[in-house]
Amino acid sequence: MVRSYQRKTDRSNLSEDIIEKAVKDVILNNKSIREAAKHYNLTKSMLHKRVNIAKSQCKELNSERNAEEIDVKTTKVIGRNKYRCHQVFADEEEQLLSEYFLMSSKIHYGLTFLQARALAFQYAEKLGKAMPSSWNVNECAGIDWMQSFMKRHPRLSLRKPENTSLSRATSFNKKNVGEFFDNLYAVMEKFKFKPERILNFDETGITTVLQSPKVIAQTGKKQVGQAVSGERGELVSFCGIISATGNSIPPVFIFPRVKYKDYFLCDAPTGSLGLATKSGWMTKELFPTVLQHIKEHTRSDIDNPILLLIDNHKSHISIEAITYAKENGIVLLSFPPHCSHRLQPLDVAVYGAFKGACRVSFNDWLLNHPGKTVSIYNIPSLAAKAYYKSFTPTNILSGFKKTGIFPLNRLAFGEDDFFCSYITDHEYPGCNTTETEDCTVINEDLQENELQDEDHTEPLQPTTPESVRPYPKAVFKKKKNL
């Protein structure tokens, strides 16, 4: 089979509306097939075939059926034209398959190429479609059919997904985001913060070994190597602080050392703060020092407070940190758990560019110092180059705007953004046992009334891929009465 055949003519691109008009002219107005074909610019043989199919179908369905009810699109299913003689699904059914694949991807449960082929076979089997014998043998659609299907639906493509933890996928839902914006609105209404008084703080890790950037190499070579400092690197925590005006406060570096030395911050961004812990991560003992660093650059006090947006890590919510924030006019507002990847400006628009610039900076240093390795004491100077390139007003303002924090916009996230939490969303999460029983009784009464009503008929729902393979849904666990 020619998989990349380019059609030489456009004879198959016929408008079904025009064909329908021509068939009705022949049947209703007694116009000859020759005249109708010439008038609508169609071939006589094709129009003659369609007219015969329409007439035969009307006789089979109802001999007294009005000719005005002829649906050429329906007759096309019985008598396909020669360009679609081997098509398994109708256009509407293929569209349902395409929408199912897209929806599965949006809820982070996308189908692989083989799973999609198996679903196509099961869907065709349930619809009673005529299919190639190889489909029944392998119990899945053929590779050629699947590739052609994706060509007919250019919105589909085979992508490598990014691993997303179940906590992140399910925690970013309307309820959590709505509660965050309720708190943000309340704080903004109470203190009337200006954009220069709205700040975001977050940590990220920088190791001495980073993924190398893309390099030029030989075409067709399967493996391309690039020198790095070691198999595994040593971590230094980098703490960024930005404001809603597009400015930033000098960052904080936390080194994996017991005691901090001044030479650790050699060539770091001007005004940076250096700290040390045994692990290299933020602790509840160090966070008050970071708050003091922020207070010195913002001159916050009880009469002129600032709003500091942070995640709800345990090191940020210690009693010492909260007490210091209250006494020095720092209003702390935390993001919902596992939602910082969508709600935090630093994660949304700044840290991605910062990490990319760090990879380039580290690779340049290795090229200029062959045979040497990057140590934790080189990180501040290398991170400084990436800091000045990525912590720009454009990136910072974009992060605050995209998350809806400033300008304040509760509608920053649409319905598509919450599809990832579909598997744990329930219509009645607060429904107790008594309410469920009442609902069941009401539904039973309604069903009895419907059965008694002889004239009541419901339209049949079309068979969809979801009826063959339902979308994944978590089982709702009822709370036990203690």
pLDDT number for residue 19: 85
Query: Distance (Å, rounded) from C-alpha 158 to C-alpha 178?
Result: 34
pLDDT number for residue 460: 57
pLDDT number for residue 27: 84
> pLDDT tens, 124-156?
999 999 999 999 999 999 999 999 999 999 999
Lowest mean pLDDT among 42-46, 234-238, 355-359: 42-46
Residue 198, strand partner residues:
307
Smallest CA-to-CA distance from 408 within 178, 172, 185 is with 185
pLDDT number for residue 428: 38
Structure tokens at 423: 């598997």
Boundaries of every domain in the chain: 16-63, 91-152, 166-212+232-418
Query: Distance (Å, rounded) from C-alpha 325 to C-alpha 317?
Result: 10
**Residue written as tokens 């009673």?**
128
Does residue 475 have a pLDDT over 90? no
Q: What phi and psi values does residue 251 have, to the nearest 5 degrees?
A: -75, 175
pLDDT number for residue 454: 46
Average pLDDT over residues 110-123: 96
> pLDDT tens, 37-95?
999 888 888 888 888 888 877 776 655 445 455 554 444 433 445 555 578 998 899 99
Does residue 476 have a pLDDT over 80? no
- pTM, rounded to two decimals: 0.78
Task: Say which residues have a Cβ less than 8 Å from residue 307's Cβ, sequence separation at least 6.
Answer: 187, 188, 191, 193, 197, 198, 199, 331, 333
For residue 51, how many C-alpha atoms fall within 13 Å in the half-sphere facing its CB? 23
Task: Output the CA–CA distances (angstroms, integers) from residue 280 to 214, 271, 286, in the order listed.
Answer: 29, 20, 11
Instruction: Work out the burial of residue 381: count CB atoms within 10 Å of its CB; fewer than 13 is exposed, 13-18 middle, 19 or more buried.
Output: middle
pLDDT number for residue 50: 85
Q: 3-state DSSP: the chain helix, strand, coil percent, rounded to 5?
A: 50, 10, 40
Q: Which CATH class is domain 166-212+232-418?
A: alpha beta
> pLDDT tens, 192-223?
999 999 999 999 999 999 999 999 999 999 89
For the chain, what is the total number of helices (H) and then of strands (E)?
A: 19, 6
